[in-house]
């Protein structure tokens, strides 16, 4: 059945300008000052996060640079997070429940056989250059990905099963499928403007760096200084409630300690990926709020079993012994996940079972009984002894073919937890006769090693969405590179049984439990083959300046994360502390839920022009 948008939702507001925003904010502040109901901010408060329009700017510390500003190419979390702010999607995930909700599609229906999906597209959305967004833009985005390999680089798995995507009129999108597809309400594909993109000659190289970048999300990307920062400005014509901050700045700061010190000094508004020690220390810091959430990301490493393209062309220089499943499984038995949880994460993590974090209970799987590869170095040594890996005079084993077990391990130098895990792995693998060269390198160097197949072990981590199809799809045979140097996965893994199960789960759109069963079987294969090895699900540890940000939406709510959400809710909902002060000290929860109504009562109608009353979908 078609799911309709909440009919009680107010219509999109009229276009606004930054000049009007400033006037509104000033008027509210003057009113509040006249009533003398809000105490002044402490004179000892640190400098605001951005010297230009400080109170209106939210500065986010980022530990990695963007890989691309093109939605067709971007795969790093920093890049996809920015695209969620700059573009709309067909549907969104509810910020409280993570369930699919309307976005560009107000409603939808499917045929009895599940092969035809028809979406009603909103008629009140415009691109940031003023052009209307229609069903044709959505159809063109999907069709381009279907027909152009370059455009399919980042998210091609979502449309691989599409037979066609057509706009029947400006507000009606029809998608026909080859087989039923369970992800039709979870197509995590940014919709791009046809009138901008249709003249691009090569989608595999176009970086989308003409500013301001035309989009339809709550923010507009207005500037990028490579390896320094990305700036976004509020889209005042956004069809949902527009953002409260005028500007977002993602500032590239590769050193985690430098990020924390910048937060303490008020030079940035938000930091993520805190270490346990940093989080515990910041809990005692004035004007800083620490958020702890169950992890939606896994941490682990992949083993190079031999890099090859989809047509079987081998490349790279991975250690030949790693093609042996016995050796890969012995490596896993040498690693103590519980030790990592305690010594690396200070208890702020969970030892991993399967590929999908425990936060997603429907899809979570963990091995049972005899199938577990638990920490047991004695068992690992026996496995290697029986397989003919003899120890040399220096204690390092040699394969039956005569190759010394000396492996290169690439570790991100911008992740303190990965650096610490890498050191532990060196020690534990030495216990079973494996020598590891620990290469702690820049993420760009690590990425180059991955794509060239010139590694043995390489650290990785993926943020898992409420629908796990994407992270499952990157380990299908179809995710292998078509030629050396191009891939959308982080492992050279190909297994026919896994692929069959992937197709089965994807086609099971009308039976959630049957789909979950297939997903769990896929995780068992990954676990048993020990190419993709998950170590932990680390808690999300993050912090923000509460004297700059009065309130912010987590996902799911309660107990969810701020960074890496499946949506734009955190940054589009964030309320500047200056606005909260102008609101006469109303609690942050009240500001999120009924801020416009309360401020109208205080500000004599001024804020009624700026914000609509929050409906069910405006809490996103």
Distance CA(413)–CA(163), nearest Å, equals 43
The Cβ of residue 202 has, within 10 Å, a number of other Cβ atoms equal to 9
Question: Which residue did the predictor score with more confidence, 456 or 17?
Answer: 456
Distance CA(288)–CA(386), nearest Å, equals 55
For residue 374, tell me if it sits in a domain: yes
Distance CA(122)–CA(189), nearest Å, equals 17
Domain CATH number, residue 223: 3.40.190.10
For residue 401, tell me if it sits in a domain: yes
Query: pLDDT tens digits, residue range 442-464?
Result: 999 999 999 999 999 999 999 89
Q: Are residues 532 and 608 in the same domain?
A: no
- Burial tier of 487 (Cβ tally within 10 Å: 0-12, 13-18, 19+): buried
Q: Tell me: pLDDT of 616 over 50.
A: no
The tokens 């170590």 sit on which residue? Answer: 535
Q: Tell me: pLDDT of 292 over 60.
A: yes
Domain CATH number, residue 455: 3.10.105.10
Question: Tokens for 418?
Answer: 């990965």
What's the chain's length in residues?
620
Q: What is the DSSP string of 149-192?
A: TTTTTTTGGGTTTEEEEEEEETTEEEEEESS--TTTT-------
Instruction: Please check whether residue 399 is in contact with residue 389, taking contact to mean a CB–CB distance below 8 angstroms.
Output: yes
Question: Tokens for 28?
Answer: 């509210």
Q: At what angle do helices 588-603 and 18-35 cross, to 10 degrees?
A: 80
Q: Are residues 304 and 426 in the same domain?
A: yes
Residue at which a domain ends, from 521, 538, 555: 538
Q: Are residues 253 and 302 in the same domain?
A: no
Of residues 113, 114, 132, the one with CA closest to residue 123: 132
Q: Tell me: pLDDT of 36 over 80.
A: no
Q: Are residues 332 and 379 in the same domain?
A: yes
Question: Which residue did the predictor score with more confidence, 45 or 584?
Answer: 45
- Burial tier of 531 (Cβ tally within 10 Å: 0-12, 13-18, 19+): buried
Q: At what angle do helices 325-333 and 512-529 cross, to 10 degrees?
A: 100
Report the DSSP pairing between strands 270-271 and 540-545.
antiparallel
The Cβ of residue 268 has, within 10 Å, a number of other Cβ atoms equal to 27
For residue 245, tell me if it sits in a domain: yes
- Name the band, by pLDDT with cuts 50, 70 and 90, for residue 485: confident
Q: Using only C-alpha atoms, what is the Rg of the chain?
A: 25
Give the structural domain span for 189.
Answer: 77-197
Residue at which a domain ends, from 167, 197, 227: 197
Question: Which residue did the predictor score with more confidence, 44 or 190?
Answer: 190
Query: pLDDT tens digits, residue range 498-517?
Result: 999 999 999 999 999 999 99
pLDDT value of residue 354:
96
Instruction: Please check whether residue 182 is in contact with residue 469, taking contact to mean a CB–CB distance below 8 angstroms.
Output: yes
pLDDT value of residue 168:
98
Instruction: Please check whether residue 206 is in contact with residue 560, taking contact to mean a CB–CB distance below 8 angstroms.
Output: no
Distance CA(432)–CA(85), nearest Å, equals 47
Name the DSSP letter for residue 235: -
- Mean pLDDT across the chain, nearest whole number? 87
Q: Tell me: pLDDT of 608 over 50.
A: no
Distance CA(74)–CA(433), nearest Å, equals 39
Q: Are residues 383 and 531 in the same domain?
A: yes
Of residues 532, 537, 410, the one with CA closest to residue 479: 532
For residue 11, tell me if it sits in a domain: no
- Name the band, by pLDDT with cuts 50, 70 and 90, for residue 610: very low
Question: SS3 for 613?
Answer: coil
Query: pLDDT tens digits, residue range 400-424?
Result: 999 999 999 999 998 889 999 999 9
Of residues 405, 396, 523, 416, the one with CA closest to residue 459: 416
Q: Are residues 280 and 326 in the same domain?
A: no
Of residues 97, 68, 98, the one with CA closest to residue 80: 68
23-32, 267-276, 418-427: segment of lowest average pLDDT: 23-32
For residue 323, tell me if it sits in a domain: yes
Q: Are residues 516 and 572 in the same domain?
A: no
Q: Are residues 285 and 302 in the same domain?
A: no
Instruction: Give mean pLDDT, residues 353-357.
Output: 96
| Cα dist from 599 to 39, 293, 389, whole Å | 17, 31, 73
The arrangement of strands across the sheet holding 247-252 comes to 219-225, 229-234, 247-252, 57-62, 270-271, 540-545, 288-293
Instruction: Please check whether residue 114 is in contact with residue 173, taking contact to mean a CB–CB distance below 8 angstroms.
Output: no
Question: Tokens for 394?
Answer: 């220096």
Q: Are residues 177 and 240 in the same domain?
A: no
For residue 454, tell me if it sits in a domain: yes
First to last CA, the chain: 24
pLDDT value of residue 205:
96
164-168, 347-351, 374-378, 613-617: segment of lowest average pLDDT: 613-617
Instruction: Give mean pLDDT, residues 607-618.
Output: 28
For residue 213, tell me if it sits in a domain: no
Q: Are residues 116 and 228 in the same domain?
A: no
Of residues 517, 568, 60, 19, the one with CA closest to residue 272: 60
Domain count, the chain: 3
For residue 157, tell me if it sits in a domain: yes
Query: pLDDT tens digits, residue range 458-481?
Result: 999 998 999 999 999 999 999 999
Q: Are residues 473 and 604 in the same domain?
A: no
Question: Which residue did the predictor score with more confidence, 13 or 504?
Answer: 504
The vertex-68 CA angle with 62 and 71, nearest 5°, equals: 110
- Name the band, by pLDDT with cuts 50, 70 and 90, for residue 321: very high
Distance CA(220)–CA(530), nearest Å, equals 42
Quick one: what percent of the chain has pLDDT higher than 90?
A: 81
Query: pLDDT tens digits, residue range 168-197?
Result: 999 999 999 999 999 999 999 999 999 999
Q: Tell me: pLDDT of 361 over 60.
A: yes
pLDDT value of residue 49:
57
Of residues 441, 548, 494, 429, the one with CA closest to residue 54: 548
Q: Are residues 394 and 518 in the same domain?
A: yes
The vertex-220 CA angle with 291 and 80, nearest 5°, equals: 55
């Amino acid at each position: 059945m078609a799911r309709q948008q909440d009919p009680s939702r107010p219509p999109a507001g009229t276009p606004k300008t930054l000049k009007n925003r400033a006037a509104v904010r000033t008027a509210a502040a003057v009113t509040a000052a006249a009533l003398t109901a809000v105490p002044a901010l402490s004179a000892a408060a640190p400098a605001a996060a951005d010297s230009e329009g400080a109170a209106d700017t939210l500065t986010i510390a980022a530990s990695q640079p963007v890989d691309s500003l093109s939605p067709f190419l971007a795969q790093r979390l920093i890049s996809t997070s920015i695209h969620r702010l700059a573009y709309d999607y067909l549907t969104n995930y509810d910020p409280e429940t993570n369930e699919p909700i309307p976005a560009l599609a107000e409603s939808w229906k499917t045929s009895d056989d599940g092969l035809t999906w028809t979406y009603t597209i909103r008629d009140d959305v415009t691109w940031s250059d003023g052009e209307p967004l229609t069903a044709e833009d959505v159809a063109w985005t999907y069709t381009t990905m279907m027909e152009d390999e370059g455009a399919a680089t980042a998210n091609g798995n979502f449309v691989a099963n599409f037979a066609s995507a057509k706009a029947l009129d400006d507000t009606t999108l029809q998608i026909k499928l080859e087989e039923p597809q369970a992800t039709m309400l979870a197509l995590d594909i940014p919709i791009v403007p046809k009138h901008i993109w249709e003249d691009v000659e090569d989608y595999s190289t176009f970086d989308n760096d003409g500013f301001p970048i035309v989009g339809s999300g709550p923010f507009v990307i207005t500037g990028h200084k490579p390896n320094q920062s990305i700036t976004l400005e509020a889209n005042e014509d956004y069809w949902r409630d527009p953002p409260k901050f005028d500007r977002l700045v993602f500032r590239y700061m590769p050193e985690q300690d430098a990020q924390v010190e910048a937060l303490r000094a008020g030079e940035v508004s938000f930091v993520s990926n805190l270490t346990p020690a940093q989080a515990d220390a910041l809990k005692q810091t004035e004007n800083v709020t620490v958020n702890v959430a169950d992890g939606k990301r896994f941490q682990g490493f992949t083993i190079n079993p031999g890099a090859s393209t989809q047509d079987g062309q081998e490349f790279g220089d991975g250690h030949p012994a790693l093609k042996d499943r016995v050796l890969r499984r012995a490596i896993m038995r040498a690693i103590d996940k519980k030790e990592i949880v305690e010594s690396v994460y200070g208890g702020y993590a969970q030892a991993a079972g399967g590929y999908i974090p425990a936060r997603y209970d429907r899809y979570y799987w963990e091995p049972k009984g005899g199938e577990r590869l638990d920490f047991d170095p004695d068992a690992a040594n026996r496995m290697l002894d029986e397989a003919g890996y003899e120890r040399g005079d220096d204690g390092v084993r040699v394969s039956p073919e005569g190759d010394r077990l000396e492996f290169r391990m690439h570790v991100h130098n911008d992740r303190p937890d990965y650096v610490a895990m890498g050191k532990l792995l060196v020690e534990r693998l030495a216990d079973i006769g494996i020598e590891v060269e620990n290469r702690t390198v820049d993420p760009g160097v690590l990425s180059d090693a991955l794509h060239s197949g010139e590694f043995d072990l390489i650290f990785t981590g993926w943020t898992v969405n409420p629908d796990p199809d994407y992270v499952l799809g990157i380990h299908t045979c179809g995710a292998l590179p078509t030629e050396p140097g191009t891939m959308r996965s982080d492992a050279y893994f190909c297994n026919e049984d896994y692929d069959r199960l992937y197709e089965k789960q994807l086609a099971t759109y009308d039976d959630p439990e049957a789909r979950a069963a297939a997903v769990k079987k896929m995780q068992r294969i990954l676990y048993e083959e020990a190419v993709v090895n998950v170590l932990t699900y680390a808690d999300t540890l993050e912090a923000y300046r509460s004297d700059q940000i009065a309130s912010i939406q987590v996902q799911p709510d309660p107990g969810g994360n701020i960074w890496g959400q499946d949506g734009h809710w955190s940054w589009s909902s964030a309320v500047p502390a200056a606005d909260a002060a102008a609101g006469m000290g109303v609690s942050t929860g009240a500001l999120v839920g009924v801020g416009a109504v309360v401020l109208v009562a205080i500000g004599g109608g001024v804020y009624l022009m700026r914000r609509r009353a929050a409906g069910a979908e405006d809490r996103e």
